[in-house]
Structures are given as structure tokens and as C-alpha cells.
Amino acid sequence: MTTLYIGLAGTVIFLIFTILSYTTKLLGKFVTDTRFSWFILPLVCFSWVLSAKLYIPLKSSGCSYADRQDFIESENFSADKKSGILLFFINGFGDCQASVTMNNGKSYSTKSLNDIFAIVLPADSGQVNNIIVGDKDTLYSNLKFTIKPGKLTYVGSFISPKGLAQLLPGFACKAANYTYETPSDGFLSLLESWAKADRLMLTPSINDRIAKLQDYYKGTSLITGLQFGYLPFNSTSLNGKEQSMTPDEVMKQYKQYGFMLK
């Protein structure tokens, strides 16, 4: 947005000076060579910057987070738009290239930025064709989703394994955890803001996973006040990995992510 403001300010300032150089004899005597004002060149440069930046906010389908970072905020994306947003997080893999194809046949491809992949898409169903780490390693593919007008569709997070596995991209991609959990509290707050506006969409698999977490939470509520650290609740991550959670962990996680259930 800073570049947009600079382009706007520069265009206005040099437009005024250009007009004055032709209408004011004293100024024109110093800055006008034959028929051309010295202010025309900077005016053209700032106008180009302004037009390039204005194109991105006006752009609909295909506009990505790498193009414009503020559109993933619910207040900056109109609920009346005919398009929607696809969002997922990629943690521990750096910036990745991802491509998606909609059922209408249109394809879009862009990079993630700062662990965020987000792109404006037409209201339709589609799938993530692949997520490429580095030059060739595939993190995930064939992830299906649905885009609704004016809403954000969250399809989950891809979390890199810890330790030495993180140093081997090929192995890290295969061992990555695909989950509804977000890599940070800031990302969680982002999803909550969309949920509060009733504009958050989830994939069926995430809905099922959150519903199971709710069932576990109801079970733990029956033993509130009893601390059985050895009593686990088994759960399954979205990539099929079995994990056990203590009652305290279940209650904490549901309090964080329970807002996803409508």
C-alpha cells in the first residue's frame, strides 16, 4: 500500500507542476524546454506506478497474497463480491509454488509468501493441483475445495516435521502434517475474524475433524477437575497420523478452534 500512496502523491504533485509550468510564465521559463516540461517524465513514472498498483486492488480472480497482502483481512474484502478467497498455510518449507484448477476449466498459479498462500478465485469448486517445494518436491496435490462469493475458504495447514527431517525436502514433504491447526496465534485470529463475520468456509475433512474434537471435548467435560494425565483421547490428524491427547490438551485445543463449527 505504501507504493500505492507514493504513486498517488507523486502523480498529483507532478501533474500540478506540469500544469503550472505551462500556465505560469515565470515557472515555465525555467522548466519548459520547447514544448515539453521537465515535469512530464516524473509525471509519467509516477503515473505508471499508480496504474500498476491500482490494477491489483481492482483485479478479481487471480489476485494473490504475494500481490496484495491486505485483502485477506475480512474488512478489506467485500462480502458482496462474486469471487471468494482460498487460503492455506505452509510452515517450515519457505515460499512454495501452488497451482489450482477450477471446475470451469480456469487455472491459477502463484507463490506463497511468509507461510501464507491465498488467492482470489471465482465462486466454484476446484482443487489444488500441486504444491511444489523448491524445484521439484511435491508437498501435496488434489486437495478439493469450494469457493463461495465474498467468503474465505480455509483448507488447512501444512506443517514441516521437526529435526533433521526438515533438512531433507523430499522426506519432509512426505512426513509433513496436514492439519486444521494454524502455525501461529496471528493466523488463528485471522480465521476467527472471518468466522465472526459468518464468512469462513472449511473443507468437509476439516469439518469432520473439528466435530470429532468437539466430541472429545464433551467427554473431557464429564471429568473436569480430575487430573488423569495418563488417560489419553486418541485422535487422527488429516494425513492419517494417529496421536493421543490428554484431556487438558483436548480442552485447550477445542477452546482455540471450536469457533470453526457453525
Average pLDDT for the chain: 79
- The CA distance from 34 to 152, in Å, is 55
Asked if pLDDT for residue 228 goes beyond 50, the answer is: no
Environment class of residue 15 by beta-carbon count within 10 Å: exposed (0-12), middle (13-18) or buried (19+)? middle
Least confident stretch, 15-29, 80-94, 95-109, 150-164: 15-29
- Rounded Cα distance between 42 and 11, Å, is 8
Residue 207 DSSP SS3: helix
69-202 in CATH: which number?
2.60.40.1120
Mean pLDDT, residues 63-88 taken together? 89
Q: Which three cell numbers stand for residue 38?
A: 521537465
Residue pLDDT, tens place only, 140-184 = 767 899 999 999 999 999 888 776 655 566 677 777 888 899 999
Cβ-based neighbours of 185, under 8 Å, separated by 6 or more:
none
Is the pLDDT score of 205 beyond 80? yes
Residue with cell 471465482: 122
Higher pLDDT, 130 or 244: 130
What is the structure's pLDDT at 84?
93
Domain parsing of the chain, residue ranges: 2-58, 69-202, 206-260
